Amino acid sequence: MYQILQARELTTNIYLMEVKAPRVANSCLPGQFVIVRMDEEGERIPLTICDYNREAGTITIVFQTVGSSTFIMKDLKTGDAFHDVVGPLGCASELTDESVEDLKKKSILFVAGGVGTAPVYPQVKWLHEHGVDADVIVGAKTKDLLILEDEMKAVAGNLYVTTDDGSYGRSGMVTKTIQDLVEQDGRHYDLCVAIGPMIMMKFVCKMTKELNIPTIVSLNPIMVDGTGMCGACRVTVGGQVKFACVDGPEFDGHQVNFDEAMQRQQMYKTTEGRAFLAAKEGDTHHGGCGHCE
């Protein structure tokens, strides 16, 4: 059992939990995720590792209530426990493979949308701890839906907050802030890392391509087993089939087929849709989860 040491609501329908998971905390890196289950028969829920403390043996997860399982999970309290915490899964951020000297020569921009702020935070924190400051844009629909602003402010080189409705910070979409920083403020970026809703990442990549900024995105399609067997998180990157859980979750954003990924994600939610995808994708579909029977 994996005890919950802290549980709190960050904002409407978004929750944070600190969980005792020493093996995961000891080996995880920014960009990776875990799969949790509340009980032996429970749904497998993939969640980004928002933070970790190797000495204390804890990891921090942030989630939004989007289905029945997360709706139930929000009621877990300090002292309760998860039945399973499997991880770390996925590939770590490619930034952790670079030398600190090379990273210090780069100007890096992070773009976080909504709950995407949670997976952006550990990467910015990791860079900050290694003496590398990065600019960060955090976007939300409204001020009330912003999360981790103070935490991000403590580790970002420059933090730009934007809300769609103009209720706080800059007004408008994150793409407008990217454009303003480059075209009006004269900022140059060697790399952009964008994490958030699929539609947001699509338009960030459209903007950064126009501005000639290489861009990495972290994809969050439906996942079932986290080992590449079920085929739920299949995406097309540069014309090749990839699986976000084992090949990602980070990919070259300018190579991702976002339209296909968004359409496929909707289709995978229904029995008929899964059957159609299994028939259409054939040997490249994968299928060990039993969902396509």
- Show me where the domains of the chain are located: 2-89, 98-218, 219-293
Per-residue pLDDT in tens (0 to 9) along the chain, 293 residues: 899 999 999 988 899 999 999 999 999 999 999 999 998 888 888 899 999 999 999 999 999 888 888 899 999 999 999 999 988 998 899 999 999 999 999 999 999 998 899 999 999 999 999 999 999 999 999 999 999 999 999 999 999 999 989 889 898 999 999 999 999 999 999 999 999 999 999 999 999 999 999 999 998 876 666 666 667 778 889 998 888 888 889 999 999 999 988 887 776 666 666 666 666 666 666 644 444 44
Evaluate whether 89 touches 34 at the Cβ level (below 8 Å).
Answer: yes
Evaluate whether 191 touches 234 at the Cβ level (below 8 Å).
Answer: no
Name the architecture of domain 98-218: 3-Layer(aba) Sandwich (3.40)
How far is the C-alpha of 256 from the C-alpha of 94, rounded, in Å?
Answer: 17
What the block records as the tokens of 269 is 């939610």
Name the residue with tokens 């935070």.
Answer: 121
Q: Which of 3.30.450.20, 2.50.20.10, 3.40.50.720, 2.40.30.10 is the CATH number of 2-89? A: 2.40.30.10
Contacting residues for 234 by C-beta, under 8 A, at least 6 apart:
221, 241, 242, 243, 244, 264, 281, 284, 285, 286
Q: Quick one: 66 exposed, middle or buried, by C-beta within 10 A (0-12, 13-18, 19+)?
A: exposed
pTM: 0.88
